[in-house]
Amino acid sequence: MPAIVVVGAQWGDEGKGKTTDILGTSVDYVVKPNGGNNAGHTVVVAGEKYELKLLPAGILSPNVVPVIGNGVVVNLEALFEEIDALESRGADTSKLRISANAHLVAPYHQTIDKVTERFLGKRAIGTTGRGIGPTYMDKVGRLGIRVQDVFDESILRQKIEGSLRQKNELLVKVYNRRAVTVDEIVEYFMPFVDRLRPYVAETELLLNDALDRGEVVVMEGGQATMLDVDHGTYPFVTSSNPTAGGACVGSGIGPTRINRVIGIVKAYTTRVGAGPFPTELFDDMGEYLQKAGGEFGVNTGRPRRCGWYDAVIARYASRVNGFTDYVLTKLDVLTGIKEIPVCVAYDVDGTRHDEMPVSQTGFHHAKPIYEYFEGWDEDITGARTFEDLPENAQKYVKALEEISGCRMSVIGVGPDREQSIVCHDLLD
């Protein structure tokens, strides 16, 4: 069984963590290929809730080797806080492996993230403030610090010097902040070095060797398609490629080794931070979805903006990722709603668009064209087969399947590991 990619189909928080977790017992490696501690993946095991940020959800399955891939940006302080919190709850984190090529978040990246947002004013992205964008900027700008650099203090010092020469100009002259010294950044990293060493490995080789042995590798993407720096609602995006192609780059696994690309999609839509969102609700219904779905960010605690299911986005995500399967999550949250609207196309300044408008302005102007589906009142949280679902819930899922670009293989009816209906095995 080759590699499997798990990708968010909307604007994040679709339930990627839960999906990786339900694959858990049959999986050997779970690699996080992109993002950093801007993510928040929730897993509920027998009523116990775990919130993972930098670590892949696979860390909760004792048989899984969790891996932080080369495409991730690592905040060492956040990493060890997360490891300590998990260890204190009895999880074993000793198998974790971290790519020597992953980049490190420094305190000045977080400062620049926050101050850039302030300077953007009304045009702010609403980032998580974790320094993710500035760390990726340094990576692409060839001024980054990698995990391997901290093991040689003189190299580390040289790299920090190179980066700070330009950063301090920016911090002092543009942003009116104090300059940062090389010493203070070296001193920030040094206490982590000994603890980090045993985790660091050539993860690209490790993962490909596992695939050669016929083992199962899951790539658990952070963020989502519409937050992708190339394919998302630029500039209201994150700074990595959360789409399926990015998972290859961020883990060192070639595209020919992948046999499943699983899109995770919520039965409605949410978004955190700024940017266009055609089906967003500003009325009581939006508040209802927020409450019923517990739509508050894991990472920053911000309320998530809520709206109806958007099939234009689902088709787009299916296309740019090449989805083989969908996992539809949170169907249970829609229970009790009389009539459920689904966006099937957009009206852009009087013209119908069945697919995503080509321009950003078009997307900002997009008004949803809805089809309406009858709801259901029965509690579905105990459903374990498709036939257990009320007829109207079955019709809703079948309708989504027809218009979303690929089959719905798993349906989520609650947050717990057990609360899933498997229509097609994701590992066969």
Binding-site residue positions for substrate: 298-304
Q: Of how many residues is the chain composed? A: 428
Interaction mask 31-50, ligand IMO, x per CB under 6 A:
-------xxxx---------
Look at residue 39 and give its three-state secondary structure.
Answer: coil
Among 5, 7, 13, 67, binds ligand IMO (CB under 6 A): 13
CB of 89 to ligand GDP, least distance (A): 16
Among 3, 17, 337, 405, binds ligand GDP (CB under 6 A): 17
Judged by CB under 6 A, does residue 116 bind ligand IMO? no
Query: What is the full DSSP assignment across 5-26?
Result: EEEESSSS-SSHHHHHHHHGGG
41 is catalytic: yes
Q: Please name which of 227, 179, 158, 183 lies closest in space to residue 9, comparing C-alpha atoms.
A: 227
Q: CA 132 to CA 152: how far, in whole Å?
A: 24
Among 222, 286, 357, 415, binds ligand IMO (CB under 6 A): 222
Residue, CB closest to ligand IMO: 273
For 240, residues 6+ apart whose C-beta sits below 8 A from its C-beta are: 34, 35, 71, 73, 132, 136, 222, 223, 228, 229, 246, 250
Residue, CB closest to ligand GDP: 412
Q: Please name which of 428, 69, 421 lies closest in space to residue 259, comparing C-alpha atoms.
A: 428
Among 6, 104, 132, 340, binds ligand IMO (CB under 6 A): 132
18 makes contact, choosing from ligand IMO, Mg ion, ligand GDP, none, with CB < 5 to 8 Å by partner type, with: ligand GDP
13 is catalytic: yes
Look at residue 266 and give its three-state secondary structure.
Answer: strand
Q: Which of 139, 167, 231, 266 is catalytic?
A: 139
- For the CA atoms of 45, 49, 55, 60, the dihedral, rounded to the nearest 10 degrees, stands at -20
Judged by CB under 5 A, does residue 8 bind Mg ion? no
CB of 386 to ligand IMO, least distance (A): 27
343 makes contact, choosing from ligand IMO, Mg ion, ligand GDP, none, with CB < 5 to 8 Å by partner type, with: none
Task: Give me the residues paired with residue 48 across strands.
Answer: 45
Judged by CB under 5 A, does residue 40 bind Mg ion? yes
How many chain residues are in contact with ligand IMO, going by CB under 6 A? Answer: 23
Of residues 264 through 303, those in contact with ligand GDP by CB under 6 A are: 294, 298
Candidate ranges 10-18, 77-85, 187-195, 390-398; the one touching ligand GDP (CB under 6 A): 10-18
Residue showing tokens 């409605």: 268
> CB of 93 within 8 A of CB of 87?
yes
> CB of 245 within 8 A of CB of 45?
no
Q: How many CB atoms lie within 10 A of CB 190?
A: 12
133 makes contact, choosing from Mg ion, ligand IMO, ligand GDP, none, with CB < 5 to 8 Å by partner type, with: ligand IMO
Binding region for ligand GDP (CB under 6 A): 8, 12-18, 39-42, 44, 294, 298, 329-330, 332-333, 412-415
